[in-house]
Amino acid sequence: MKVLVTGGAGFIGSNIVDRLIDEGYDVVVADDLSTGKEENVNAKAVFYKMDIQDPQLEAVFRSEKPDYVCHQAAQKDVRFSVADPVSDARINILGTINILQNCIKYKVKKVVFASTGGAIYGEQDVFPAPETHPARPISPYGVTKLTAEHYMYYYRAVYGLDYVSLRYSNVYGPRQDPHGEAGVVAIFIHKMLDEQEPVINGDGEQTRDFVYVGDVAEANILAITNDAAENIFNIGTGVEVSINRIFNSLKEIIQPSVEEKHGPPQPGEQRRSVIDCTRAREILHWEPKISLMDGLKMTCEYFSARRPAHSR
């Protein structure tokens, strides 16, 4: 069986690629390397440096004939989506339509899509939010992910293209980009390894649902193989964790002497976000296996081993 992974040079996509290859799948990666790195791409995967909006993507489908598409490529920066909603929509909506059109033409069996539990629900009415929670995105990024889900619904209804949308919570782990705006775990780890003080935005009591990337890769494998009629699954832990707790856990692992430093709160930042994963547990038979402390330790070890020798 062959899987085309878009965004397979990125943080989550490359972890999925490794897992697929371990499971014996043939893997093809299409990634424009805008945020991903070629060195992340497993040597056993066939790599195409390609923008998902490019009409040439059809040539990849024509020659590779994937059985499944795991669509991870996206513009994922919420602040960029606010600053440039047109570019954001081009990549996340038009790029997705380009993929779906090719899936129909080349008879792909199923698409697994990287959606978001954090940005789709907006300010939550209930904690944790189930998949049935109203979708009220408050960023262009969240709107594009919800729109992609609507397109997949349409392609299934009209053309019979099967799909699963996985609404991830806050994913962390090896290969996460520590230089972006998102990814508080990677940002804090880098600061602490450099013996600097990370700045906690506001009082640090804002919460998120942190899920380890290996568990997310596992959910993607199960989404490919599971033939349940359900299409949308939250993929998180259901546990609300404050930014202060992340800081204190990393402090314990890396640098017990680091001072806790707070900056101004980020305007418009969501206060609480946590998703209910009962549906994934019952239907996909998925559940997060890595505890927060174990996941943080593995992530610290990964970044620590890759630091230049002089700064270790």
> Which residues participate in catalysis according to the annotation?
141
Binding to ligand NAD by CB under 6 A, coded x per residue (else -) over 62-101, reads ----------xxxxx--------------x---x------
Q: In the set 116, 206, 220, 273, which binds ligand NAD (CB under 6 A)? A: 116
As a whole number of angstroms, the distance between CA 9 and CA 175 comes to: 10
Q: Nearest 5 degrees, angle CA 120-CA 126-CA 132?
A: 55
Q: Considering only CA atoms, which of 206, 129, 214, 201 is closest in space to residue 167?
A: 129
Binding to ligand NAD by CB under 6 A, coded x per residue (else -) over 221-240, reads --------------------
As a whole number of angstroms, the distance between CA 24 and CA 138 comes to: 40
Binding of ligand NAD at residue 185 (CB under 6 A)? Answer: no
Token pair in block for residue 17? 């690629």
Binding of ligand NAD at residue 273 (CB under 6 A)? Answer: no
Q: In the set 28, 41, 114, 120, which binds ligand NAD (CB under 6 A)? A: 114
Residue 46: strand pairing partners:
28
Binding of ligand NAD at residue 163 (CB under 6 A)? Answer: no
Token pair in block for residue 89? 């929509």
Q: Considering only CA atoms, which of 31, 7, 142, 35 is closest in space to residue 85?
A: 142
178/202 with CB nearer ligand NAD: 178
Stretch that binds ligand NAD, among 47-55, 200-208, 220-228, 243-251 (CB under 6 A): 47-55
As a whole number of angstroms, the distance between CA 246 and CA 181 comes to: 16
Closest approach, Cβ 37 to ligand NAD, in A, equals 7
As a whole number of angstroms, the distance between CA 112 and CA 59 comes to: 21
Contact residues: ligand NAD, CB under 6 A: 7, 9-13, 31-36, 51-53, 72-76, 91, 95, 114, 116, 168, 170-171, 177
